[in-house]
Structures are given as C-alpha cells and as structure tokens.
Structure 1
C-alpha cells in the first residue's frame, strides 16, 4: 500500500468516469493546504503512445471528417500537391502518428496528483469586489485602476477576466468577489525549481498520459467516437470534459490550456487553441485533447517565459510503498 505523506488529509471517496459512462472508478480525494489531490494507484507494464492514425475510430466520425478535409481542398483550389495529400484520410492519419507519442511499455508509480491544473506565471495577491471596489490586495495596488476600469466598461460578471500583461481575475463562486493573480514572468526552469523546492514534482509525459487515459488504447480518454449530442472541449455548453475523468482529475478539457511537464521540449492536453482556428472540422479541433497528442516546442521557444492563460501545470508527489 502507498504511504501518504504527512500533511495530506483524507477527504472523501468519489465516483468518477468519462462521458457516456466509460471507465467509471472510485477515487480517494485528499486535501493539502486546502487543495484537492487524488490518490492514483500506479501500474506496471502499461502500454502508452499511439500509431495507426485513424484506425479503429468510429466510421461515421471518420466519414464526416473526410468530408471536412475534402471541403478544404474545394475551397482552396490552388493547394500544392503536398498540401492536397495532407487533406486526405491517409495524409491526416500520418499527421496523427507524427503528432503523438510513440508506443512504448512503461511502469507508473503510485501518486498523489493535484486535481486541477494551475496557471503558470501568476502569483496570488488578494481579492477584489467588483460591486463595491473594496479590495484586500498585497503587492497589487498598482493594478487597481486597470481592474476598476475593466469592470466599469463591462458590468457582466465573467467567471474569469484577464488583463493582458498585468493580472488574471477568477470569480469566487457566484459572488462579486474575485481572486486577483498578478502576472509574474516565469520560465520553465524557474517553475520546475519552485515546484521541486516546495516538495513536489512536475509530471513526465508517460505519467501524464496514464493519468489522462488510464492506459486505454483509444486516442481520446472517452473513447474512439464523438457523441453527436455532446460538446467536447473549449466552448462546449456544457463542456462535458470539465468533469473529473476516471482518475478523478480535470485533465485535457480545454484546447487553449497546455500542461507543462518536467521537460520544456513539449506540452500535453492542448495546443494553445491553434486548431480551433484551422477550420478543418471537428476532429482536427479536438485532436489536441487526445491522450497521446504532444505539442513539441522548437529550440527557440525553450527558455522563454511561460504564457499566462495558456501554460498550466499540476503538482505531483510520487509515493513509496509501505
């Protein structure tokens, strides 16, 4: 049995699963400094990664996507032969294999995993009341004018509000109060060092894939199909993927949110919203949410500051047995 470290208090057992009743599970939830962590049992010899492109995916969804690809070719008649080849099922299948991790067999340890990802490059500085203007800010007085202006110009109570280059605000429940998070330039190396110094680790790619898909041999964590009456990912009303997965984690639910790993060479769970603007169809828009999708960073990207609102991370504690 895994040994839970001091400071993690058992909270409750919760039933979690994927949309449409896939992969239901009972998970143990713990609290540490008011933050929820989930106890995830490890596994020896689990197969991760992907190959085979669209093979095994729902035939109806594949036929619909083939129509989306053909529509692109018809709309852009001067495409090169290389681009025309890309916009075929065979060409896009090759793209899937190139943009996913290789198939391999790994062992994953028992872990306590932060339930929800947290935004990188921000620091909590207090609260602000959008109705009264009252605030409790530490190191945030210089933000007051811009925050007040934002709420005066738009009286809608957004769940989140971003002041680019300054701060991010998150609404507290249904109240008019917001948490205020100041943007702080943070590189991957500084983030990793801070997480390690606090007694945690960042996830490896293999750990993230196991936490997302639980070792399932399907491209997406909910299966190899799209339910016609279900909204997946960013903009869904509701987005069914925001509910905890079968490991009890909020993971791979928003294409804009990419999760930082222990390496700065790639990210998981999203692509910063790139495919949402490609106009190639539903499958392409959702592909960054696939368990084995990886957004690789070129050398010029590495070492730069992480981007608030796009780069997220979750803390993990790897456990020893009794």
Structure 2
C-alpha cells in the first residue's frame, strides 16, 4: 500500500513504534528529514503528529481518507453569544437573515470527499518567496516573469509554477479545509463558538497549532491561495477586522469552511498575488 493511502484512523491506530517506522518511510519517499513523531492535543481532542524538514521548512503529516467537509446547518446549534453578535451585525450591516441562511452563503456546502495523505507546510509562505533566486532582487522581474496586475489566470499560473519548480503544489480547497479542521465538523476547528474580543493579538485558540500541528486559519489578514484561483481560504484579507465590523463578522472569516466570494478577485485585480500567502503541499508517492 502506498503511504498516500494512509488514513487518519489508520494513522491514529498505529502503535508508537509502527508510527515512527511509517513516518520514517514517508520521509525517505519524499526526500525529507523526519524531525519528530509524538502525541498532540488541541481543543479537547487528542492525536498524533509527525513533523518533517524540507530545506529548512517544517512540514506535518496530514493523513487522508474519507472526510466530511463544509458547514452543515442541520447540525449546527449556535450559542447565545454568537446569536446575539449576529443579531447586532445584521442590524448594523443588513446581513442576510436568518443566521443559518447567512452561514450557508459564506461557507462551502456539506459534502463527503476522499483525500490522499500528504505533507503540508506548518506555516504558509508569501508567494514572493516562490520567485526564482535570480529574480528576487530584480525590481522589474515581475513584469517579465511574474503576474501582470489584473490577470488572474496568469498570476495564479505564476504562483503554481513557483511551487512546481520546488517539487511542491498548493492544496486544493478541499485539502485546505480538511487540513484546517483536522476532522472536526464544528463551525471552527475548536468548536461552534468563539472567544470574547476579536481574532487579533494573543488568542490561544487561533495561535496554537491545530490537531495536525499546523498554524492555519490563525490570522484573518492571511487568506491563503489554493489550487483554485477563485478560492482563497483562512480569512478575508483583514476586511472585517480592519473595517470595525464587530465580533461576529471578524470571527466568522476563520470558520473552517468560510469562503470569501470576492477576495480572490480583489487580490488579483490589485496585483497582490506576491503578497498573499500559500501553504505548500509535498505529495507522498
């Protein structure tokens, strides 16, 4: 069996010795260096993580298998605080009502998907870091080798090409969502509610690594590219937080299945591709 077929349940059920051997085999097949394997907990859930080094960048094992993704309004029960925050935001900003309809508009639909196991960067990187070394210091290189402002297809192709040169690829939207939620079917990767205040500064829930050991969906400003040029995940570019839209609209952009419908167009049209992060994926053969 290829290690690309390693499921979360199979990975979790391995003994410690078998997990270490499996991780070592994955390191050999991907040309990475295994740095650690061990238990890890997040938001009341426990699991096992494996970390790898690839040219100085840290990657974590994200097992695959069949997973439930998207926001399911039929199972969601908002707490009193979230309902109150939504009511206030709806009054101030004329949001679609009721709450379940609004959430359906701003999240991906519920679905079952099958995904391969893969190594995923623990932290996202700026797209500019994917420029070839001989272009990095050339202020005019973007006009020749980089994306043209307002050209979504060319800009996204430039980003994909930068990853491909490194033997990497971006996550698909499904892969990003699964990597963020790590099997959780709640609105956020930690549950269905959110803390007091705003998602900025020292907030343990969003600043701690998730169950797969990833720092992901931890900053509403850092929406990440995916393999789909029209889908960015993990934030809204800071629009709600910077705009003072209040707790509900600032937190909801960190929901695992959140999709900002106009963000990709804004990024491409504004020539911000190089400043927007992407989370590299190293396929497991």
Q: 1:194 to 1:103 in 2, by over 3 A?
A: same
Please give the secondary structure, in 2, of the residue aligned with 1:95: helix
Distance (Å, rounded) in 1 between the aligned partners of 2:84 and 2:260: 26
Q: 1:247 to 1:218 in 2, by over 3 A?
A: same
Q: CA deviation at 1:274?
A: 0.9
Pairing partner for 1:66 from 81, 87, 91 = 87
The gaps in structure 2 that reach 5 residues or longer are 4-24, 148-154
Distance (Å, rounded) in 2 between the aligned partners of 1:117 and 1:26: 21
Moved over 4 A (4+): 122-126, 297-304
Cross-structure match for 1:226 = 194
Please give the secondary structure, in 1, of the residue aligned with 2:45: coil
Please give the secondary structure, in 1, of the residue aligned with 2:195: coil
Distance (Å, rounded) in 2 between the aligned partners of 1:302 and 1:254: 17
Structure with greater Cα Rg: 1
Q: CA deviation at 1:301?
A: 5.1
Q: 1:298 to 1:242 in 2, by over 3 A?
A: closer
Pairing partner for 1:49 from 57, 65, 70 = 70
Q: 1:87 to 1:24 in 2, by over 3 A?
A: same
Distance (Å, rounded) in 1 between the aligned partners of 2:101 and 2:263: 20
Pairing partner for 1:11 from 11, 35, 38 = 35
Cross-structure match for 1:247 = 212
Q: CA deviation at 1:207?
A: 0.6
Q: 1:246 to 1:33 in 2, by over 3 A?
A: same
Pairing partner for 1:260 from 186, 200, 225 = 225
Distance (Å, rounded) in 2 between the aligned partners of 1:207 and 1:125: 26
Cross-structure match for 2:100 = 93
CA contact (8 A) 1:47 1:106 kept: yes
CA deviation vs aligned residue, 1:142-171 (integer Å, no higher than 9, x gap)? 99xxxxxxxxxxxxxxxxxxxxx9xxxxxx
User: How high is the TM-score relative to the length of structure 1?
Assistant: 0.67
The gaps in structure 1 that reach 5 residues or longer are 74-82, 127-137, 144-164, 166-183
Q: CA deviation at 1:263?
A: 1.3
Paired residue total: 250
Q: CA deviation at 1:286?
A: 0.9
Higher strand share: 1
More displaced 10-residue stretch of structure 1: 59-68 or 214-223: 59-68
CA deviation vs aligned residue, 1:60-81 (integer Å, no higher than 9, x gap)? 33234424544x27xxxxxxxx
More displaced 10-residue stretch of structure 1: 215-224 or 3-12: 3-12
User: How high is the TM-score relative to the length of structure 2?
Assistant: 0.75
Q: 1:288 to 1:298 in 2, by over 3 A?
A: closer
CA deviation vs aligned residue, 1:271-317 (integer Å, no higher than 9, x gap)? 111111443421211111110001234896586543454x1111112
Query: Alpha carbon RMSD of aligned pairs, Å?
Result: 3.3
Cross-structure match for 1:199 = 167
